[in-house]
Structure 1
Amino acid sequence: MKKTLTLQLSPEEAYDPQIFKQTVLKKAGISLDTPNAFTRQIKRSIDARGRKVIVNVEAEIFLNENPGSMLDHFPSYQNVRNSDPVIIVGAGPAGLFAALRAVELGIKPIVIERGKDVRTRRRDLAAINKDGIVNPDSNYCFGEGGAGTYSDGKLYTRSKKRGDIRRIMEIFVAHGATEEILVDAHPHIGTNKLPLLVSKLRETVLESGGEILFETRVDDLIIEGAEIKGVVTQLGERIKGLGVILATGHSARDIFHLLDRRKVLIEAKPFALGVRIEHGQNLIDRIQYHCEMDRGPYLPASAYSLVQQTEFKGKQRGVFSFCMCPGGFIVPAATAPGELVVNGMSPSRRDSKFANSGIVVSVELEDLPEYQKYGALASMYFQADVERKAWDFGGKTQAAPAQRMVDFVNRKTSSSLLDTSYQPGLESVEMREVLPDFISARLAMAFKAFGQKMKGYLTNEAQLIGVESRTSSPVRVPRDRETFEHPQIKRLYPCGEGAGYAGGIVSAAMDGERCAEKLIEAYCKSGG
């Protein structure tokens, strides 16, 4: 027999397995001594709006019945060794899930990744953190798993229209993620666990007969008439397939230059740019959970989400938190020497003493009149110029320019900076000299508003660390709304964050699946 209950529990009742079982059985009127009684959570969310934190839980009770797996989807991967190939450029979430879906549909994926496999990639990340050396082909953005591998691993998305979120989650579980990601309203995996998970996704592709070519950069496209036939690598190798899924991520500027040079239609795209804000995690916990000391042993490190409309020179623009990482770290995310970019990540336990979040300003094309001469690459050139300026002000190393939060609002260079999770170190500067006026003015307005929304948020015990500029792609590679095919070049399928159609691990994975399905439906007679 199975019974389902909807409950409001204390953190202790929700997060201590033994107490949870006792609480659920008691609320269901079942004796604690009942043999063969199993309980589990299938949905869980934290409500901290009141003075007392409540955990909303949907629970299942099984009596004399094995609960079984929580998975509804068990993917079946065919042997595609001798099947027709499709080319997938990029081994981030979009590319890997496109490859897995192709295998499911009986088509051989050839994944081409400029970076290294996840294990080898670690050495290049260490070189950025310790020595400030940026390998343009292997860094926090490029390499197996893309930018998502070394991130918080957040698996929630606002996208509801481009795929099956539950299916993506279950594929992660089938490859080693815990079933907790199926339960939590805001699931995450953690940067310490993502590399192993990504390597298992790769193993599935290879064991099924697919190919993954690491340290292989696409330098040209094979276009005949109005149709793409394949790609050319940096070594001159020509790789052909039935179609090309372009899943290169939001930082592959050389690909945007290539498309522009080959006169493949692309478009400038609005994006967002700002800074990382770093607080002590304990402060954020006290604000969010209304506690005087610490959050206690059961509640997870708290997150926040903030948004504020601002007006500057008669123009309204949103300022919002982005990729908030509770209990996390700030990392150097540059993809070439001579630029400085920061991003955030968290381990699975989110047990760092720091909380960080991107606080970014919406940038519209009309905000960049002096960059219009660059056409479709206008936003990208603006983004790159800000990153180079941050590099200069940081001392031309990977040390990041920084300023205490109240000092920034008051236009005062900080005489000292706080401890930080950012390993390459910080350089005290006036951030208004790094950021364009329309960005810094809106940030200052928003910080004051955020301080009203979250009492204690606006404090000199927090600091701005810059710049957070890789929020999304500054370029869109257009595609047909129904077929997902490029409107000008047949068999070319722009995909994921880099093409402007996703905003995180889950939405990128869903987009990868859909692109594979659309390509195979259109051009592969043996597909499906």
Structure 2
Amino acid sequence: MTQELELRLLPEIAEQADQLTQYISKSKKIPPSDIKHLEILNHSIDARQKTVFVNLKVRVYINEEFVEKPILLPDYPDVRNSKEVIIVGAGPAGLFSALQLVESGYKPIVLERGKDVSERPKDLQNINAHHIVDEDSNYCFGEGGAGTYSDGKLYTRSKKRGNVRRILELLVAFGANPNILAEAHPHIGTNKLPKIVKKIRETIIERGGEVHFNKRVTDLLLEGNSIKGVVTKNGDRFLSDRVILATGHSARDIFELFYAKGIDINLKPLAVGVRVEHKQSLIDSIQYSCDVRGPFLPPSPYSVVKQIGGRGVYSFCMCPGGVIAACATKPGEIVTNGWSSSKRARPTANSGIVAELKQEDFIPFKKFGPLAAMEFQKEIEQKAWVAGGKTQVAPAARLVDFVEGKISSDLPKTSYPPGIIPADLSSVLPKFVFQALQNGFKEFNKSMKGYLTNEAVVHAPETRTSSPVSIPRDPETLEHIRIKGLYPCGEGAGYAGGIISAAMDGIRCAQMAVIAK
């Protein structure tokens, strides 16, 4: 027989199989020899009080042998001679829409502007070591999208938009650790994701789909208000009456193309700010209320939200044991983000700290119409590039200096590979953003005593929190409101905010493309 238990335990019990077995045996009066296996169904850490607990949901196999059931991929059909659907972009939205098309008996033609996961690291190294930005191959563009080389966090609040469990199971079938099925905040890690992405691509191709790299789409082929295909930078034409547009939140050329062609797009407010880095040991001591994190607890994340003068200031994409990354997508700009490996073993923690933007904040950019928020982003990134010395060296300040409006006299070493330089960050960020962040950090310190320290470093800017544009689509068919057969999809179109939500949206768009008349 099996029995499911919900337990609240100290980490040293919850994280050691023998201790957990002894605890269940004693508390539930089950002889130890009768417990054949413990299956962890849900796992989360509760650090809200001084004593840290682990919440577990466990299935106990009592005098019943556990037979592991491997998670297998669907029985994908061969689609090499099937109807073709074009997918623009090979991030999570594009790749999962391709898998769904194959499963539905359609042939995906995936066009990715960047390189495959094996080639992308060379261009990342060029950014980090030589300050050279390839507009098509960088942290944001290339096979797997931004998520592949920026952490691989799988947590989402968008559970009503699709089947989260199905996405996680597919990732496990492609090689992810099965523990992501149980964790409250699952995470794969930048070091593990490339192999998974490669296996997804290989499966698509094995079943008859196509994946083309170095194919930046520069135009849409239209007949009246119907899509007929796309044109790439090198002049190739790919024809289909169904196109899934999954280009990501940084494909500014696509937004500009839509605007130039008079295709409906809307301004979408986002959030901008900085990326702050602390010692992981400090974050652990604050979050776990301890001097030293014990061996049974992972490096601690944090999440904080404050209202500052009617504007939200909050942490974004927090990376425990992680690294700050150079995420520019064009020469002449600086963009920061963060990532962690699967073990989150680095000595520093970093997080975006951003201020919420509102429609009225973009009035100075109104001449750009629906691209106003994008131009707002660009101005900050270009100012950061100038302040950093016109390289990928990021303008920075110690945290207390930032709050006090000072230029730091020196800076500690940080994880940001191109390096940092002391700068007046009030000259980089809009005044209202700078002031909101200053006050936000003061408020953060009230909740997280010790957070406001001059050993922490502020890097500017963090601007790519989400798409600055939304591409309107019919809520029922998911087609663009005016262009028949065009399916705006994922984060770049304003319908997702991370790997899982983008993947779910990709599946939904593929399902609608299949049933379209």
Q: TM-score under structure 1 normalisation?
A: 0.96
Residue 414 of structure 1 aligns with an amino acid whose one-letter code is: S
Distance 1:507 1:242, change over 3 A: same
Q: State the shift of 1:21 in Å.
A: 3.1
2:27 is matched with 27
Instruction: Give the unaligned 5+ runs of structure 2.
Output: none
- Secondary structure class of the residue paired with 1:230: strand
Superposed CA deviations along residues 493-523 of structure 1, whole A, max 9, x for unmatched, are: 0000000000000000000000000111113
- CA separation in 2, counterparts of 1:20 and 1:168? 30
2:306 is matched with 308
- CA separation in 2, counterparts of 1:432 and 1:70? 56
- CA separation in 1, counterparts of 2:377 and 2:134? 19
- Secondary structure class of the residue paired with 1:26: helix
2:144 is matched with 145
- CA separation in 2, counterparts of 1:156 and 1:24? 29
1:299 to 2:292 alignment: no
Residue 165 of structure 1 aligns with an amino acid whose one-letter code is: V
1:114 to 2:113 alignment: yes
- Secondary structure class of the residue paired with 2:306: strand
Superposed CA deviations along residues 64-114 of structure 1, whole A, max 9, x for unmatched, are: 434344677852311111100100000000000000011111111000000
1:256 is matched with 255
Residue 325 of structure 1 aligns with an amino acid whose one-letter code is: C
- CA separation in 2, counterparts of 1:392 and 1:339? 8
Q: State the shift of 1:27 in Å.
A: 3.1
8 Å contact kept, 1:501–1:511: yes
- Secondary structure class of the residue paired with 2:353: strand
Superposed CA deviations along residues 305-341 of structure 1, whole A, max 9, x for unmatched, are: 1111111xxxx21111100000000000000111000
1:507 to 2:501 alignment: yes
8 Å contact kept, 1:73–1:167: no
8 Å contact kept, 1:71–1:170: no
Superposed CA deviations along residues 98-132 of structure 1, whole A, max 9, x for unmatched, are: 00011111111000000000011110011111111
1:221 to 2:220 alignment: yes
8 Å contact kept, 2:71–2:173: no
1:347-496 matched pairs, under 5 angstroms = 347-496=341-490
8 Å contact kept, 2:217–2:231: yes
2:126 is matched with 127
- Secondary structure class of the residue paired with 1:149: helix
- Secondary structure class of the residue paired with 1:301: coil
Distance 1:148 1:9, change over 3 A: same
8 Å contact kept, 2:327–2:335: yes
1:178-189 matched pairs, under 5 angstroms = 178-189=177-188
Q: State the shift of 1:162 in Å.
A: 1.1
8 Å contact kept, 1:407–1:460: yes
- CA separation in 2, counterparts of 1:300 and 1:516? 37
Residue 13 of structure 2 aligns with an amino acid whose one-letter code is: E
1:335 is matched with 329
Instruction: Give the unaligned 5+ runs of structure 1.
Output: 524-528
Q: State the shift of 1:467 in Å.
A: 0.5
Q: State the shift of 1:17 in Å.
A: 2.9
Superposed CA deviations along residues 461-502 of structure 1, whole A, max 9, x for unmatched, are: 111101100000001111011211101100000000000000
- CA separation in 2, counterparts of 1:289 and 1:70? 36
- CA separation in 2, counterparts of 1:69 and 1:247? 36
Higher mean alpha-carbon deviation, 54-63 vs 279-288, is at: 54-63
- CA separation in 2, counterparts of 1:404 and 1:17? 43
Distance 1:513 1:392, change over 3 A: same
- Secondary structure class of the residue paired with 2:508: helix
- CA separation in 2, counterparts of 1:155 and 1:69? 24
- CA separation in 1, counterparts of 2:23 and 2:125? 46
2:265 is matched with 266
- CA separation in 2, counterparts of 1:264 and 1:63? 62
- CA separation in 2, counterparts of 1:341 and 1:72? 38
- Secondary structure class of the residue paired with 2:300: coil
- Secondary structure class of the residue paired with 2:167: helix
- CA separation in 1, counterparts of 2:67 and 2:265? 48
State the superposition RMSD in angstroms: 1.3
The 4+ residue runs of structure 1 with deviation greater than 4 A are 69-74
8 Å contact kept, 1:308–1:319: yes
2:92 is matched with 93
Residue 28 of structure 1 aligns with an amino acid whose one-letter code is: K
Superposed CA deviations along residues 379-428 of structure 1, whole A, max 9, x for unmatched, are: 11110111000000011111101001111111111111122111110010
- Secondary structure class of the residue paired with 2:408: coil
1:55 to 2:49 alignment: no
Superposed CA deviations along residues 343-375 of structure 1, whole A, max 9, x for unmatched, are: 000000001110000000111221121100000
Distance 1:254 1:69, change over 3 A: farther
8 Å contact kept, 2:325–2:338: yes
- CA separation in 1, counterparts of 2:239 and 2:68? 41
Superposed CA deviations along residues 193-234 of structure 1, whole A, max 9, x for unmatched, are: 011111111111111111000111101100111000110111
Equivalent pairs: percent with the same residue?
57
2:313 is matched with 319
8 Å contact kept, 1:485–1:492: yes
8 Å contact kept, 2:36–2:66: no
- Secondary structure class of the residue paired with 2:32: coil
- CA separation in 2, counterparts of 1:428 and 1:241? 52
Q: State the shift of 1:9 in Å.
A: 1.4
8 Å contact kept, 1:84–1:242: no
Residue 482 of structure 2 aligns with an amino acid whose one-letter code is: Q
- CA separation in 1, counterparts of 2:8 and 2:257? 55
Q: State the shift of 1:15 in Å.
A: 1.7
8 Å contact kept, 2:87–2:108: yes
1:3 is matched with 3
Q: State the shift of 1:32 in Å.
A: 2.2
- CA separation in 2, counterparts of 1:24 and 1:9? 11
- Secondary structure class of the residue paired with 2:149: coil
Residue 117 of structure 1 aligns with an amino acid whose one-letter code is: D
- CA separation in 2, counterparts of 1:69 and 1:219? 48
Q: TM-score under structure 2 normalisation?
A: 0.98
